[in-house]
């Protein structure tokens, strides 16, 4: 069985290629190769998807499954034009960011979408709308042969966004001399899926010719339970310092990610359902999530091996957290 992964050296794409190899597939990846090393035992076609002739090496071959993780509409369109007719199954990895609103927990795939943004763009503000455009291109071109997987927050070892690794690492290495850790006091629901589980399912679903549009994420649990799991795998026994969202806003702590942020936390009520979408359709197609504790333990081990002191894309610096803990306690 032949599997073509469009992008296979970055985090998710590499996991998809590795899952294909593990499932006994003949895997080819087409990528620039600038995001990391490809997995072992795959054919590598180095190409810039925006350049003429990018698909020349693969366009005259038949593929059992094509899996595309593209975020640029032109890349989606180019791949479909080149190999859309040669694929028995086409899997497009979309995003839960396609939805126009996130207030309602339990919303399914029929929820309203953002207007499509059909031009290429690097800005985060158009990311979800570009994925909407990609979905439409795929569904129009390959129809019933397409599986559109709207991924939620991906977790696990290798998380270069630093969102899922922040909490187990901080609990394992507190900034405060008394091992205190600042945490958001919020009833927010969270939903993450291990990158390895998502990758394995994407390949398996493609091989089984699954089709349709589905939300692909993990179980929904309260943020407090997610933090408790991170604390447990880190072996943290120090105090926690809970602060509510008004306090965080007043002290200029950002939600979700970025500099001076608390990862995973989002303000309510506008994000009450952002990480709490129905995944019943994907589960019916075989999606299974491993225990959160296993994901967080493996992520912590990767964080330690990657170097706890490296520059991060999300979270509080130790100095910021020390100042915030002092402010909260005063």
Q: What is the pLDDT along the chain (330 residues), one digit of tens a residue?
A: 799 999 878 899 999 999 999 999 999 999 987 778 888 999 999 999 999 999 999 999 999 999 999 999 999 999 999 999 999 999 999 999 999 999 999 999 999 999 999 999 998 899 999 999 999 999 999 999 999 999 999 999 999 999 999 999 999 999 999 999 999 999 999 999 999 999 999 999 999 999 999 999 999 999 999 999 999 999 999 999 999 999 999 999 999 999 999 999 999 999 999 999 999 999 999 999 999 999 999 999 999 998 877 889 999 999 999 999 999 999
Q: Determine the Cα–Cα distance for residues 326 and 281; give it in Å rounded to an integer.
A: 46
Joined together, the tokens standing for residue 303 give: 């964080």
| Structural domains for the chain | 2-151 (3.40.50.720), 156-191+219-271+290-329 (3.90.25.10)
Side-chain-side CA neighbours of residue 175 (13 Å): 20
Angstrom distances, CA of residue 219 to CA of 205, 253, 269 = 19, 27, 20
Residue 28 has phi, psi (to 5 degrees) of: -120, 135
Beta bridge partners of 190: 221
Among 310, 8, 14, 303, smallest CA distance to 159 is for 303
């Amino acid at each position: 069985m032949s599997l073509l992964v469009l992008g296979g050296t970055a985090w998710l794409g590499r996991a998809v290629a590795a899952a294909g190899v593990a499932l006994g597939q003949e895997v080819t990846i087409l990528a620039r190769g600038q995001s990391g090393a490809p997995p072992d035992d795959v054919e590598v076609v180095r190409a810039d998807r925006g350049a003429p002739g990018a698909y020349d090496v693969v366009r005259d071959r038949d593929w059992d499954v094509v899996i595309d993780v593209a975020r640029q509409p032109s890349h989606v369109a180019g791949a479909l034009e080149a190999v859309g007719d040669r694929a028995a199954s086409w899997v497009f990895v979309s995003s839960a960011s396609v939805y126009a609103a996130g207030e309602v927990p339990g919303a399914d795939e029929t929820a309203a979408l953002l207007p499509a943004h059909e031009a290429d763009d690097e800005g985060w503000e158009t990311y979800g709308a570009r994925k909407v455009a990609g979905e439409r291109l795929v569904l129009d071109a390959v129809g019933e042969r397409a599986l559109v997987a709207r991924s939620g927050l991906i977790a696990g070892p290798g998380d270069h966004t630093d969102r899922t690794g922040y909490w187990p690492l901080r609990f394992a290495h507190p900034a405060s001399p008394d091992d205190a850790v600042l945490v958001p006091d919020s009833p927010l629901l969270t939903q993450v899926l291990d990158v390895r589980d998502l990758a394995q399912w994407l390949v398996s679903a493609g091989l089984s010719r699954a089709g349709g549009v589905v939300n692909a994420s993990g179980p929904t649990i309260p943020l407090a339970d997610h933090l408790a799991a991170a604390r447990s795998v880190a072996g943290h026994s120090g105090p926690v310092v809970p602060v509510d969202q008004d306090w965080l806003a007043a002290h200029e702590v950002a939600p979700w990610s970025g500099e001076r942020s608390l990862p995973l936390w989002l303000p309510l009520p506008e994000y009450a359902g952002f990480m709490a979408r129905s995944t019943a359709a994907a589960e019916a197609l075989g999606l299974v999530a491993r225990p959160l504790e296993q994901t967080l333990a493996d992520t912590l081990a990767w964080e330690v091996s990657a170097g706890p002191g490296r520059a991060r894309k999300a979270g509080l610096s130790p100095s910021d957290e020390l100042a915030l803990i002092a402010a909260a306690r005063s």
